[in-house]
Amino acid sequence: MSRYLDRIEPEDVRFLMDFSEFKTFVIDMLGDARDLVQIHIDYDLIEETENMPLIRPMVHLSEVSNFTEEDRHTLLATGFSIDQEPFVNGDYAMKQIFGPEYTILAATEDDDGAFFTIEIPFRNYQQEIKQMRPAHSRQT
């Protein structure tokens, strides 16, 4: 590493997250409700007249057979809902992963599959890491 690199601070941090990784995170967030729903990850590209197009992640949840009212409450306790628009579930999942200050720069599909390019401000990245470390230290 360059001896000069520690003298500068990055502005933003970018992540590449493929749809299967995103789905894995959603499954983890669902906890005990993971077997109550089927999950499909997608996105929508909303053309805005000003700046760049807006990319909205979507988490489609569909109930499995014999879905009860108790199952619905178990699912709602996770922060997700079958009754919400997939955008709401997608936004919720992204905020759980990246915090409130994230931007999806691109959704790309290639031979390896589809993935999001996500950017967060470096300072927010540092804050998220600091918040995680005390919790991680207590678990070990």
Report yes or no on 43 lying in a domain.
yes
pLDDT at residue 50, as a whole number: 74
Q: What is the pTM of this model?
A: 0.85
Total count of domains within the chain:
1
The confidence score (pLDDT) of residue 32 equals 94
Q: Is the pLDDT of residue 138 over 90?
A: no
pLDDT one-digit tens code per residue, 6-28: 788 889 999 999 999 999 999 99
CA torsion angle 24 29 35 38 (round to 10): -60
Q: In what order do the strands lie in the sheet with 12-18?
A: 12-18, 113-121, 103-110
Token pair of 127, please?
């804050």
**Is residue 5 one of the residues assigned to a domain?**
no
On whether residue 36 sits in a domain, the answer given is yes
Q: Is residue 4 part of a domain?
A: no
Q: Which tens digits make up the pLDDT trace of 72-130?
A: 999 999 999 998 899 999 999 999 999 999 999 999 999 989 999 999 999 988 888 88
In a domain, 131, yes or no: yes
Q: What are phi and psi of 32, to 5 degrees?
A: -65, -15
